[in-house]
Structure 1
Amino acid sequence: MRGERLTAAQHRLVAQLTRISESESIPLEAALGRYLADDVLAPVDVPPRAVSLYDGYALAGPVVSDSIWPVVGESFAGDSPPPLSTNAAMRIFTGSVLPDGANAVIAQEAVDRTGDAIRLNESISPGDGVRPRGADSRQGDCILEAGTRLDAPQLGLLASVGHGFVSVVRKPRIAVFTTGNELIQPGEPLAPGKIYNANHPMLVGALSRLGVTVLDLGCLPDDADRLRAALAGAATQSDLVITSGGVSVGEADFVRQVVEELGRVDQWRVFLKPGKPLAFGDVAGTPFIGLPGNPVSTFVTFFLFVRPAIRVLSGADPDIDRPPLRLPLAESRPAGDRPEFVRVRRTRDGAGQTNLSVFRNQNSGLLSSMAWADGVALMPVGVDLVAGDVVDYFPFEAWYL
């Protein structure tokens, strides 16, 4: 069985998921990385009154070059200045409220001041130098939509309209465990036939970066009864269960078998390299994603499938159709029989051109390649590529957003 195409499998997975219904109101300072539960409307205009764009003079009346204006006061940021009479000027500073009656602001560099009067060195038009009331947002406007991920600019926007608290979707609870008789925990003596469990801290770390609540169920042996109990328990506590290992066709690969007993496997195998032995479905109604066991396959499929699932659970767009970056390869690459995500690093050639250098060995068990790389590039099926050919590039940092 060759396996389903990547994008089709991704869309089929997210189509089975729904947003978590519970929400909570939290302080703005605690909302970084969370997802809005509801649309946010502006309760006030921003700015609430017209303000000056720069240091200068607010003017009331027709503005022409060489005219002379008496200066009748000052408006500092935070002041509520008195009205300005016609044909008069008021000293004003960046962000200060425009006095009633003023219709423009002239920059201080464009005037000559002598005592309490200024001479204008240029003509300006009504509205120049002014940020009007409501220029940023108007009362009643939807300033952020439900499902928006709150980063620093969004927090600033919410603060600008006076929101001290915000309603966000409850953090998804993600149960995770790894499987394999060969695995031991880092820090323990390395016994014959054993390897250290690298996938577990990698998955827990990636989940933590995505801002979820992690239910860490540790590492389980290749034992059907132990797996059955763990999966059944995880399904009652979590919004999504993910595992690493045990979904291939080996005699000790029990995860797929147990999932089918407790629920269903909707997808098995994806036409992809690395990461072909991937499964998803549900355990007693709770969504399940079974990642492959090789570390690189685990990492790549985590971000191709688990990350979109978490976004949908949080009420956001799955972000699986966003156009990738397009960059040229620094070297040739032979054709493959499956779409392949190869580990690459951005480099610059002698002409200052950014290229993608490919790691020397693309074996899916080499975590050193992931630590070296800053992203992956997608190699199309059946195409011999040469240096300079442009490919799709996915930087790792974008996968954490």
Structure 2
Amino acid sequence: MPLIKLHKVQEVVENLSRKLNTKNFVEILHISNAINRIILEDVIATMDIPPCDRAVLDGFAVQSIDVSYASTETPAILKLCSKPCRKLKPNTAMKVSTGDELPINADAVVPLEFTEVRNSTLYVFKSVSSGYGIARKGEDVRKGEVIVRKGTILRPWHIAALASQGISKVRVLGKVKVAIFSTGSELIEPGSTLPKGKIYDTTRYIIASSLKELRFNIIDMGIVPDNEELIRDYFIKALNIADIVISSGGTSIGERDLTVKAASSLRNLDYFVHGINLIPGRPAAFGIFNGKLIACLSGYPVAAFVELQMVLLPALFKALNIEPPTLGIRTMAKTRRKIPIKIGMINVVRGIVYDMCGSLEFEPLRITGSGILSTLLKSNAILIVTEDSMGIEKNEII
């Protein structure tokens, strides 16, 4: 294949993010409707939670030193306050219920089952230490701390934290309209009988599913045959109905690779590049048309998935000034064998991390193979090798 001029991934991400118009990407939702959405701003606590020292069980607020010797044989004897008091005096107690604010000087709550009331006197039959049965002011959340960071996918506990601060609405990533179509006369839809010389379209589905996880609004435009004029018409139609347009297939420079030719022929392109220093995913093309992002991804599912995760989504989230949600946790491991790489390229290596009695080891599944979907099915880890690396040796810590 003739060489394609390769552009650095980070430069492409930077250029796309600066030119992308994100005005339609922001939505303000009530927290009850914001589950699994990506929040676009840090949320700072405006109050302590709890806002004061509170009882976490039913019992009697006391000063722990007054009951330090209490036992069944020698109970502590305290005067019971006849009504709620603001400040607790030594050798006195005040009845409290779960959630009640504690009086000043009270540093423990004695459970009801450890006590007996006789007239206005409280008998305590078991000692409790300072802090027992109470939640301190700010113990859960401190005023001024970040309780939800921008870029977080909101889960039920985040929603509860927002509610605890009295917050009812948040700015989240909207259901961005993404039009997707595949190109290739050899493609047919899953569910159809497979004629000789045809293959099922898998790449469109891995792209759409990846974006649906982020709650994007997918407009599925199906399959387009290898016809440059028809592909160009699909781009124009997609740009009229969506914020982002993604095609798969036809990104190389063979006779039937017409997608990039069709996309680059669009008038008023603000930016367009073909070829990035990414393995797999080198022949991808990206552009901006009137502030809308165009992505011509590989027809191979693994390469398209890598292009999506390494270029398109980072550009989108950078434009929104947030970190992309991570696919998993970052960790370190020792390589089980030498990993050959393409120098000067960002190499995305699929593999398996094994836990060897607390020591992690990484086994690459396959270095090449943009269409080998099984490498994603079998892998539990992805190694991203930066472009300045000269190679990965056996037993190297990565």
TM normalised by structure 1 equals 0.80
Mapped pair 1:72 → 2:80: yes
Q: 2:158 aligns with which of 154, 157, 162?
A: 154
Task: Give the Å deviation of 1:201.
Answer: 1.3
Task: Give the Å deviation of 1:357.
Answer: 1.9
Q: 1:141 to 1:347 in 2, by over 3 A?
A: closer
Counting aligned pairs with the same residue, the percent is 25
1:160 & 1:193 partners in 2: Cα distance?
Answer: 60
Residues 180-259 of structure 1: matches in 2 within 5 Å?
180-259=184-263
- 1:32 counterpart residue number: 35
- 1:359 counterpart residue number: 365
Q: 1:5 aligns with which of 4, 8, 11?
A: 8
Task: Give the Å deviation of 1:274.
Answer: 0.6
Gaps of 5+ in 2: 71-75
The amino acid across from 2:392 in the alignment is L
Q: 1:71 to 1:273 in 2, by over 3 A?
A: farther
- 2:302 counterpart residue number: 296
Task: Give the Å deviation of 1:371.
Answer: 1.0
1:118 & 1:287 partners in 2: Cα distance?
Answer: 71
Checking the alignment, whether the CA contact within 8 Å between 1:245 and 1:293 is kept in structure 2 is yes
- 2:379 counterpart residue number: 373
1:193 & 1:284 partners in 2: Cα distance?
Answer: 39
Checking the alignment, whether the CA contact within 8 Å between 1:69 and 1:89 is kept in structure 2 is no
Q: 1:57 to 1:259 in 2, by over 3 A?
A: same
2:319 & 2:179 partners in 1: Cα distance?
Answer: 14
1:192 & 1:255 partners in 2: Cα distance?
Answer: 24
Task: Give the Å deviation of 1:113.
Answer: 5.0
Residues 1-400 of structure 1: matches in 2 within 5 Å?
1-21=4-24, 23-36=26-39, 40=43, 46-52=49-55, 57-59=60-62, 65-66=68-69, 68-70=76-78, 72=80, 83=86, 85-87=88-90, 88-90=92-94, 92=96, 96-105=99-108, 113=115, 116-118=122-124, 121=127, 124=130, 130-136=134-140, 144=148, 148-262=152-266, 263-264=268-269, 265-312=271-318, 316-318=322-324, 324-337=330-343, 338-349=345-356, 351-360=357-366, 362-379=368-385, 383-391=390-398
Gaps of 5+ in 1: 75-79, 392-401
Q: 1:344 to 1:26 in 2, by over 3 A?
A: same
Checking the alignment, whether the CA contact within 8 Å between 2:54 and 2:134 is kept in structure 1 is yes
Query: Displaced runs of 4+ in structure 1, greater than 6 A?
Result: 138-142
- 1:395 counterpart residue number: none
Q: 1:323 to 1:149 in 2, by over 3 A?
A: closer
Q: 1:327 to 1:9 in 2, by over 3 A?
A: farther
Task: Give the Å deviation of 1:329.
Answer: 1.7
Task: Give the Å deviation of 1:213.
Answer: 0.8
Task: Give the Å deviation of 1:298.
Answer: 0.8
The amino acid across from 1:343 in the alignment is R
- How big is the alpha-carbon RMSD for the aligned residues of Structure 1 and Structure 2? 3.7
1:313 & 1:211 partners in 2: Cα distance?
Answer: 18
- Provide the aligned length of Structure 1 versus Structure 2: 380
The amino acid across from 1:212 in the alignment is F
Deviates more, 1:332-341 or 1:150-159: 332-341
Checking the alignment, whether the CA contact within 8 Å between 1:246 and 1:255 is kept in structure 2 is yes
The amino acid across from 2:54 in the alignment is V
Q: 1:60 to 1:254 in 2, by over 3 A?
A: same
Checking the alignment, whether the CA contact within 8 Å between 2:110 and 2:128 is kept in structure 1 is no
